[in-house]
Amino acid sequence: MSSKIAVVGSINIDLVYEVDEIVQEGQTISTRDHHLFFGGKGANQAMTAAQLGADVTFIGSVGTDGYGEQALLNLQRNGIDTSSIRKDGLTGQAIIQLSSDAENAILLFAGANHNVTAEQVEASRTVIEESDFLLLQLEIPMPAIEKAIEIAHGSQTKIIVNPAPSHALSDQLLSKVDYLTPNRTELESLSGIPFNEDELHIACQKLIEKGVGCVIVTLGKQGSYYFSGNKYGLLPSNKMIPVDTTGAGDAFSGTLAVALLEGFALEDAIVYASDVAGFVVTQKGAQPEIPEKYRTNQYKFAY
């Protein structure tokens, strides 16, 4: 694959604590186990796309600490171009509680991710202009996100935004987004309509009216609901038994970009992305090694 993907986003070290249940206010509990994984929503997206064969360049920031060096080496080992990554301050961290039923609660320390600026993105303008897709999330400051979207929109680079963590997005920004991939909570926040499966169409339509090209709502084991132009509907996913749901949405977005670049029809790209995300939740950590059978040239649809 010669197609290029630019990722502007976050890089974290994930400190994962396995617990019987998510801790409550005023409660002290013991953990069953502890792991250190590579994470950050941007890095998760980049790693998925790179493992599936894309030519990926990352724009972001890590710290000058040991965690930063480890994170850079991890990206480089997987063929990701890190020349647009700055070193500044302390590397971002995510403190994750992982419950016995595979749900999670995450405490973020932005660290160097908070230092990603519009000026840094502007300095890497050519990277975005020469890419086929731009992947974004919301774990870095909004001015950097807005600048990246401005550059991509101006150069006709397709834009995928995973609106997580949930954050208000202006109508002007939304009007430039080609693919928006919210989960239930994020859809409710962006549309202003309380989540209801019977009103998915209405909530998505509201975002389409704001100018979003395609809305794809990730619904976990229920699959994905999409709305694009006059086409919409619920698409299935493999019902995997989850071990760790961290990074599932990131894997979905990274896979979606690769599938669309490979010429998959939209519906097939969404099902494929759901299946890769389904595999990710069966593994611990947000950046597991993706088996060969999920590569685009080997993937077999189950339907």
Q: Residue 135 is inside which H or E element, if any?
A: strand 133-136
126 CB contacts (<8 Å, ≥6 apart)? none
Instruction: Verify whether residue 250 is a known catalytic residue.
Output: yes
Q: What gap in Å lies between CA 272 and CA 181, rounded to an integer?
A: 14
Q: What angle is formed at CA 212 by the lines to CA 261 and CA 160, rounded to 5 degrees? A: 35
The single residue of 81, 88, 250, 275 carrying the catalytic annotation is 250
Q: Distance between CA atoms of 47 and 6, rounded to whole angstroms?
A: 12
Say how far apart CA 5 and CA 130 lie, in whole Å. Answer: 9
> E strands within 163-264?
179-180, 214-218, 224-228, 231-235
What letters, b where the CB count within 10 A reaches 16 and e where it falls short, cover 122-160? eebbebbeebbbbbbbbbbbeebbbbbbbbbbeeebbbb
The residues annotated as belonging to the active site are 250
